[in-house]
Chain A
Amino acid sequence: MSNTYILKPIAYTLLIVAIITGALAMWSETLRINVSVSTGELHWRFKPGSEIVKDECGTGSLDWNATYLTNGSVGAERIDDAKDVGCTSAQFYDNDGDGDLDTLNITIHNGYPWYYTHVAFAVENAGTIPLKIWKVVIHGQTTYEITSSTGLRLDLTGDGKPDVLIWWGDNFGKQLHKGDYADISLEIVVLQDAPENANLTISITMYAIQWNEYDSAMSTTPV
């Protein structure tokens, strides 16, 4: 092996070291910025103890019946010869186990056509970001507002005929700051085409959105 093969790598190594050393020796000054971004939380829940039921089970209260469903509102009263036949129960649950009430189960027992009930509750902003009540999905139907003239007629059995009618207190777009709450109520009327001896389940999901996205979210669905 000639000396060239030994000396060449050594020479190259020394050259590289010299270049690196020269670069490191360059006069310089470093400025730094540490950035920390902490996000808040969009969180709402049913307000504990806020549920109010018009014809609550176990109270012996007499039934309410719908009297008319037109002209932009629903009328209800205790008719003559009112009886305690049906009743309504409402119960909050913490479905995801995070310590906050996120589910309200409403059950109408022994309902019948024209049976009317009214359930009121409150939702509160338990997060740190202002929110607006965005939309509600009732039995798969998404709505951003429920006009007082229509309500929602729901076919729960799939026979093409509506079984119940829901009216929703219009709180869409209402803004809740941290700790604020809003009252919401809904009315349910059992219609003539509801089946007998049946358990009818209505799934209602409410959505809130951070306040600064509400306007655009009326027409688009955020990620």
Chain B
Amino acid sequence: MNRTQIFSLASLALLVASIGAVAAMWSETLKVNVNVNTGEVDVKWSNWTCNDSGPDPQIPNSDFNNDEDKDVAKCYVQAEKYDNEGDVIKLNVTITNAYPGYHAVITLVVDNIGSIPVKLYSSSISEYPTSALSVSLDKPESTQIHPGSNSTYTLTIDVLQGAGENQDYTFEVTLVFAQWNEVSGD
């Protein structure tokens, strides 16, 4: 065995000794398992009514009157579309045989069925003939809905003198609810 071989063997032995020392070093390991369960932003229409359940309501503070309690026009509100969980996400309001002076107020209840507080992010009413109809959406003072709670909106539809006879007017109302911390204000 020459000197070179002896030197190589010595180096190898030193390396093995170093590794053994490291492996034998006292140590303790701490671990953190992270599990993030996300919540859900989920709302639904839970209740809906129309104020015309008998005699036709007339535009308040106007020259129209229905002192005779006639029931000429009809107002229907029903579920139109459900999501995959069976929750109502779209309603259909149908008013028939309407005439100038007719005043429909549809009361709508939104339930927060998710686990995250929500606020109304945006609302819109699609285009409709303003000479024929007056439409307004009344929102609650605070639009925030906590999980398990609900909020009430009212949609008011007045038929004006400019409405044509035997006409069909359609429009769509959209309400977008988002998690509370992404919507500024109430």
Contact, CB under 8 Å: A39 / B176 = no
A36 touches B161 (CB 8 A): no
A222 in the interface (beta carbon within 8 A): yes
The answer to whether A33 has its CB under 8 Å from any CB of chain B is yes
The answer, yes or no, to whether A147 is at the interface (CB within 8 Å) is: no
A117 to chain B, nearest CB (A): 36
Count how many pairs of residues, one from A and one from B, have CB atoms less than 8 Å apart in the complex: 159
Q: Pick the contact of B166 from A27, A41, A222 — CB < 8 Å? A: A41
Q: How many residues of B contact A (CB 8 A)?
A: 63
- If A27-B116, A38-B167 touch, whether A212 touches B92 (CB-CB below 8 Å) is no
- Chain A residues within an 8 Å CB radius of B146: none
Chain B residue nearest to A42 in the complex (CB): B165
Bound Cα distance from A35 to B171, whole angstroms: 5
Task: Pick the contact of B64: A42, A127, A212 (CB < 8 A).
Answer: A212
Inter-subunit contact B43/A29 (CB<8 Å): yes
A28 on interface, CB distance cutoff 8 Å: yes
Beta-carbon contact of A42 and B92 below 8 Å = no
Query: Taking the complex as formed, is A3 at the interface, i.e. its CB lies under 8 A from any CB of chain B?
Result: no
| B178 → A minimal CB distance (Å) | 4
User: A residues within 8 A CB of B161?
Assistant: 222-223
What residue in chain A is nearest B64 (Cβ atoms)?
A: A212
For residue A216, CB closer than 8 A to chain B, the reply is yes
A39, B173: Cβ atoms under 8 Å?
no
Chain B residues within an 8 Å CB radius of A38: 94-98, 167-169
Whether the Cβ atoms of A26 and B99 lie closer than 8 Å is no
Q: Is the CB of A31 within 8 A of B44?
A: yes
Question: Is there a chain B Cβ closer than 8 Å to A210's Cβ?
Answer: yes
Q: Report B-chain residues with C-beta under 8 Å of the C-beta of A41.
A: 165-166
**Given A28-B178, A212-B58, CB of A34 within 8 Å of CB of B92:** yes
Q: Do B90 and A33 have beta carbons less than 8 Å apart? A: yes
A1 at the interface (CB under 8 A from B): no
* A38-B99 Cα distance, complex, nearest whole Å: 9
A34–B80 CB distance below 8 A: yes
Type the 1/0 row for A95-132, where 1 means its CB is closer than 8 Å to any CB of B. 00000000000000000000000000000000111100
Q: Does B6 contact A (CB under 8 A)?
A: no
Whether the pair B165, A39 counts as a contact (CB closer than 8 A) is yes
CB of B72 closer than 8 Å to a CB of A: yes
- B20-39 near A? 1/0 per residue, CB < 8 Å: 00000000000000000000
Q: Any chain B CB within 8 A of the CB of A77?
A: no
Q: Which residues of B contact A8 (CB under 8 A)?
A: none
Q: Which residues of A contact B169 (CB under 8 A)?
A: 36-39
Chain B residues engaging chain A, CB cutoff 8 angstroms: 41-45, 56, 58, 63-66, 68, 70, 72-73, 80-81, 89-101, 106, 108, 110, 114, 116, 118, 121, 132-133, 135, 155, 157, 159, 161-179, 182
- Enumerate 27 A-B pairs (CB-CB under 8 Å) in ascending A order: A26-B178, A26-B182, A28-B121, A28-B178, A28-B179, A29-B176, A31-B44, A31-B174, A33-B90, A33-B108, A35-B157, A37-B159, A37-B169, A38-B95, A38-B167, A39-B159, A39-B166, A39-B168, A41-B166, A129-B72, A130-B70, A210-B100, A211-B70, A212-B65, A212-B66, A220-B63, A222-B100
